[in-house]
Amino acid sequence: MSATLLKISCPDRVGLLARLTSFVAYHGGNLLEVHQFTDPLSGWFFARLAIDTGTLALDLPALRKAFKPTADELQADWTIRDETVKMRVVILVSKLGHCLADLLWRWRSGELPIDIPLVISNHEDFREMTEREGLRFEFVPTDDKAAAFEKMRELFRSVNAELIVLARYMQILPREICDEWPGRIINIHHSFLPSFVGANPYKRAYDRGVKLIGATCHYATAELDEGPIIDQEVVRVEHFHMPDDLLRLGRDCERLALARGVRYHIHDRVLIHGKKSIVFRD
């Protein structure tokens, strides 16, 4: 059963959910799933409605046009999207391939219903892995960072990238790219931010004797590692774990948190509000 997804956030007021469900019903839509949350501190309303596409009396462009007056009145940020249309996702990777390999497996198995028009790396290490899957691989060295990022920006545009995933891509994207794809760049970071930032985080965690390690999946912004958090994963560290064990456990956390973050995003389950995100988990 295909679904049309309505995602909306706006200032809270009485009867908002009734307005939305009435709109859907008026156009013949049968609701498959409804999530709603009102933040009492900010006075902001968030909702995600999944509608049985086969029941709607209007096609997607007409439905968007019909909803616009209501959205304008509510001063809302909103999208209406056909869930069956696969999002175009560009993946960036450096010299650690565990997150890339995991995403490719989930894509190949159908667990992540996305299109991957391009994989970009500042190293050649994962060309064979990528091309073995029949995917395009672009090597963009970052010796000249300005030129590299300009080339990447052109590549993103050329493939109509709708989401950019930093699968342990170890370069900081410039403000221009973050501003052009706001809320559409996902990064995975070892540990709970901002603990143990920088090089050799798991060795430093071992030296500190931590009892928990984890990973944070968040949106990338011009402020390093300060974007809205989508998902986090944690694992307990035992006294007998060595640095290599922490590395293994940490990579598992990174794979899982990133995969969940990408899944939530492509299914329109994430609504950004300022520095935070509301996630209607599946």
Per-residue model confidence as pLDDT tens digits over 37-95 = 999 999 999 999 999 999 999 999 999 999 999 999 999 999 999 999 999 999 999 99
Looking at residues 147-176, what average pLDDT do you find? 97
Say what the pLDDT of residue 195 is.
Answer: 67
CATH 3.40.50.170 positions along the chain are 87-279
Check whether 192 has a pLDDT greater than 70.
no
Please give the sequence-ordered ranges of beta strands (E in DSSP) within the chain, or none if there are none. Answer: 3-11, 30-39, 44-52, 77-82, 87-93, 114-121, 137-139, 163-166, 185-190, 212-219, 229-236, 270-273, 276-279
Say what angle helices 243-266 and 201-208 make with each other, to 10 degrees. Answer: 120
pLDDT above 90: percentage of residues in the chain: 89
Sign of CA dihedral 262, 124, 193, 244: positive
Range list for CATH 3.30.70.260 in the chain: 3-82
Residue located via tokens 């909803």: 67
108-148 pLDDT per residue, tens: 999 999 999 999 999 999 999 999 999 999 999 999 999 99
Alpha helices in 159-190, H assignment, sequence order: 175-180
164: pLDDT strictly greater than 90: yes
Whole-number Å distance between alpha carbons of 176 and 18: 40
- 8 Å CB contact between 162 and 88: yes
List the 3-11 sheet strands across, edge first. Answer: 30-39, 44-52, 3-11, 77-82
Active site (catalytic) residues: 225
Bridge partners of residue 7, in order along the sequence:
48, 79
CATH architecture, domain 87-279: 3-Layer(aba) Sandwich (3.40)
CB atoms within 10 A of CB 125: 15
Q: What is the pLDDT of residue 200?
A: 76
Which homologous superfamily is 3-82 in?
A: ACT domain (3.30.70.260)
